[in-house]
Amino acid sequence: MKFTVSREDFLKPLQLVVGVVERRQTLPILSNVLIGLSGGRLSLTGTDLEVEILGYLNLDSPSVEGEITVPGRKLMDICRSLPDGAELTISVDGGRAIVTSGRSRFTLSTLPANEFPSVEDGPGNREFSLSQQTFKQLLDSTAFAMAQQDVRYYLNGMLLEVGDGHVRAVATDGHRLAMRDAPLESTADDKIQVIIPRKGVLELSRLLVEAADVEVVLGNNHIRVSTPEFRFTSKLVDGAYPDYQRVLPKGGNKQLTGRREELRHAFSRTAILSNEKYRGVRLLLGDSLLALTANNPEQEEAQEDVVVNYNAGELEIGFNVSYVIDVLNVLRGDEVRFTLSDANSSALIEDPASEGAVYVVMPMRL
């Protein structure tokens, strides 16, 4: 195998796939990327056995076909260290990969391409397309609510529900819930649900940067997302996601509306003196006023008063301030609406100008 390519052109697909490569692997070959060349098309593949990413690049210069695996991060570090506009040539000689550019020459160890594992994807049950920006917004608006190391393994991922003319992303860690919808032009009426693992969600969000559409295929045990530049495949979490509809609070009779940025800054300032472990903040609602207070074991206290649109009687309720700030960070509208019932009921947080996103935060005793 031998080919010549510009540094910038090669770095783009290489950076896509190296993100999934782990630094410390039980299998040495998982630290490598698979480089394949066929028909003038270069493909680079990285995997951790759960997530697989392929990056594509069309070559104009004459080349020799073949495939090999090389250490992914070392190859990327070499490419990054080369000057802008550099041309690099990669060839294989005697089981070693030779990278040359100008007066620089690097020799890398290789492992056989036929030993490189692939994520089995199998046939798909549902296919649809949507814009990368819409898909990324779905993921980024909800991913923060995923659990990180919960024994309920299905919470360490995101539910993707497709059907009835929409695609919906749902994430929860048992204390809060994030849900966002996006319309789909054509999907079957029956709903299909899959759970994407946490790493798959984060890697996919990183890949979605263009304005073009992506093709999405959902199978029994995989999700595949494809564009002309990359193909992403992730195994799915095998489990039943909890009925998120039951978590959505209903019948809230107290509504607070305020400026999102003003509230975000107020909560952030109050959080400075909250208990570092429990992160509790107390909300006292009165006519057109929200009073925030927080304190910690050092007897320090923070107080903030914010003018809001509220006239549903006095209410005192406590929340984990980090959960509220996370929601205010992902909302994009100028205003935010809180729907509340009492001190023991969850809060429903929404953007009044957008119907697509709903957030639920459970209260805490202070």
**What digits encode the pLDDT tens for the residues 177-187?**
999 999 998 66
Q: Give pLDDT, residue 187.
A: 61
- Angle between helix axes 198-207 and 132-142 (nearest 10 degrees) is 140
In which band, very low, low, confident or very high, does the pLDDT at 277 lie, cut at 50, 70 and 90?
very high
First to last CA, the chain: 66
Position of tokens 């659990």?
A: 147
pTM for the whole thing?
0.92
**Nearest to 272, CA basis, from 318, 322, 230:** 322
Mean pLDDT of the region 14-40: 90
In which band, very low, low, confident or very high, does the pLDDT at 190 lie, cut at 50, 70 and 90?
confident
Cross-strand bridge partners of residue 347? 361
- What region does 308 belong to: left with phi over 0, alpha with psi -120 to 50, or beta? beta
Domains of the chain: 2-115 (3.10.150.10), 124-246 (3.10.150.10), 254-361 (3.10.150.10)
Cross-strand bridge partners of residue 91? 2, 98
- Where does residue 211 rank: exposed (0-12), middle (13-18), buried (19+ CB within 10 A)? exposed
